[in-house]
Amino acid sequence: MKLDKKDLLLYAITDRSWLNGMTMEEQLKEAITGGATIVQIREKNMNYSDFLEEAKSLYKICKSSNIPFIVNDNIDIAREINADGIHVGQEDMDAKDVRAIIGDKMILGVSASTVEEAIKAEKNGADYLGVGAVFSTSTKKDADSVSYEELKKICDAVSIPVVAIGGITYDNMDVLKDSGICGISVISAIFAQNDIRKATENLKNKSEKLFKYHKMPVALTIAGSDSSGGAGIQADIKTMTVHGVFAESAITALTAQNTTGVMSVFESSPEFLSEQLDSVFSDIYPNAVKIGMVSSCNLIHVISEKLREYNAKNIVVDPVMISTSGSRLIEEDAIKTLKEELFPLASVLTPNIPEAEVISGIEIKSTEDMIKASKIIGDNFKCAVLCKGGHSINDANDLLYSNGEFRWFYGKRIENNNTHGTGCTLSSAIASNLAKGKNLEMSVLEAKNYISGALSYMLDLGKGSGPMNHAFSVHGEYK
Which pLDDT score is estimated for 270?
96
* % the chain with pLDDT above 90: 74
Q: Which of 54-58, 242-246, 332-336 has the lowest mean pLDDT?
A: 332-336
Average pLDDT over residues 295-316: 94
The Cα-based distances of 212 to 150, 176, 183, 376 in angstroms read 21, 12, 10, 48
Whether the predicted pLDDT of 214 surpasses 80: no
CA 37 to chain centre: 12
Which pLDDT score is estimated for 142?
52
Alpha-carbon span 105 to 61, nearest angstrom:
20
Alpha-carbon span 170 to 147, nearest angstrom:
18
- Spatial contact of 109 and 70, defined as CB atoms under 8 Å apart: yes
Alpha-carbon span 468 to 238, nearest angstrom:
11
Between 330 and 231, name the one with better pLDDT: 231
Which pLDDT score is estimated for 327?
53
Average pLDDT over residues 89-113: 92
Q: Please tell me the CATH code under which domain 5-210 is placed.
A: 3.20.20.70
Is pTM beyond 0.85? Reply is: no
Between 475 and 288, name the one with better pLDDT: 288
Question: Known catalytic residue: 419?
Answer: yes
Residue from 125, 421, 448, 466 carrying the catalytic annotation:
421
Which pLDDT score is estimated for 479?
35
Residue from 424, 425, 436, 466 carrying the catalytic annotation:
424
Average pLDDT over residues 52-59: 96
Which pLDDT score is estimated for 215?
73
Residue from 297, 419, 436, 466 carrying the catalytic annotation:
419
Q: How many residues are there in the chain?
A: 479
Question: Known catalytic residue: 404?
Answer: no
Question: Known catalytic residue: 423?
Answer: yes
Q: Please tell me the CATH code under which domain 218-456 is placed.
A: 3.40.1190.20
Alpha-carbon span 139 to 169, nearest angstrom:
13
Q: Transcribe 304-362 into DSSP letters.
A: HHHHHHTT--SEEE----B-TTS-B-S-HHHHHHIIIIIGGG-SEE---HHHHHHHH-S
Which pLDDT score is estimated for 91?
84
Q: For 160-206, how does the pLDDT look when each residue is reduced to its tens digit (9 = 90+)?
A: 999 999 999 999 999 999 999 999 999 999 999 999 999 999 999 99
- Residue 474 banded pLDDT, cuts 50, 70, 90: confident
Structural domain boundaries in the chain: 5-210, 218-456
- Residue 153, classified by CB atoms within 10 Å of its CB into exposed (0-12), middle (13-18) or buried (19+), is middle
In sequence order, what are the residues at sequence separation of 6 or more whose Cβ sits closer than 8 angstroms to the Cβ of residue 280? 220, 248, 250, 286
Whether the predicted pLDDT of 140 surpasses 60: no
Between 279 and 213, name the one with better pLDDT: 279
Whether the predicted pLDDT of 131 surpasses 50: yes
Question: Known catalytic residue: 424?
Answer: yes
- Residue 478 banded pLDDT, cuts 50, 70, 90: very low
**Omega into 133 within 30° of 0, i.e. cis?**
yes
Whether the predicted pLDDT of 104 surpasses 80: yes
Q: For 81-98, how does the pLDDT look when each residue is reduced to its tens digit (9 = 90+)?
A: 999 999 999 887 889 999
Element (H, E) at 206: helix 196-210
Which pLDDT score is estimated for 1?
65
Whether the predicted pLDDT of 476 surpasses 50: no
Residue from 252, 423, 425, 448 carrying the catalytic annotation:
423
Alpha-carbon span 251 to 316, nearest angstrom:
16
Residue from 389, 422, 425, 466 carrying the catalytic annotation:
422
Look over the chain and give the mean of its residue pLDDT values, rounded to a whole number.
91
Average pLDDT over residues 2-17: 91
Q: Which of 41-55, 175-189, 292-306, 464-478 has the lowest mean pLDDT?
A: 464-478
Terminal-to-terminal C-alpha distance of the chain? 48
SS3 400: strand
Known binding-site residue numbers for Mg(2+): 73, 92
- Residue 415 banded pLDDT, cuts 50, 70, 90: confident
Residue from 29, 290, 306, 388 carrying the catalytic annotation:
388
Alpha-carbon span 27 to 192, nearest angstrom:
10
Where would I find the beta strands (DSSP E) of 158-272?
162-165, 183-186, 218-226, 246-258, 261-267
Whether the predicted pLDDT of 141 surpasses 70: no
* % the chain with pLDDT above 70: 94
Whether the predicted pLDDT of 393 surpasses 70: no
Known binding-site residue numbers: 40-44, 72-73, 92, 111, 137-140, 167, 187-188
Which pLDDT score is estimated for 394?
54
